[in-house]
Amino acid sequence: MPIFHAVGAAVAVGLLFYLVFAMLKPERFS
């Protein structure tokens, strides 16, 4: 179903932004 693809894409984008933020702001994750 298209809904699963939409949810998967949203999770992937969210995870990507989280990883980028963690790389840019390492002091917040230490």
Give pLDDT tens digits for 20-29: 988 888 776 5
* Boundaries of every domain in the chain: 1-25
Q: What's this model's pTM, rounded to 2 decimal places?
A: 0.57
Residue 2 — pLDDT band, cuts 50, 70, 90?
confident
| pLDDT value for 28 | 64
Rounded CA-CA distance 3/17 in Å is: 21
pLDDT tens, position by position, 5-22: 999 999 999 999 999 988
Residue carrying the six token digits 């699963």: 4
The DSSP secondary structure of the chain, one letter per residue, reads: -HHHHHHHHHHHHHHHHHHHHHHH-GGGG-
| pLDDT value for 30 | 56
Exposure letters 15-30 (e unless 16+ CB within 10 A, then b): eeeeeeeeeeeeeeee
Yes or no: say if 9 and 2 are a contact pair by the CB < 8 Å rule.
no
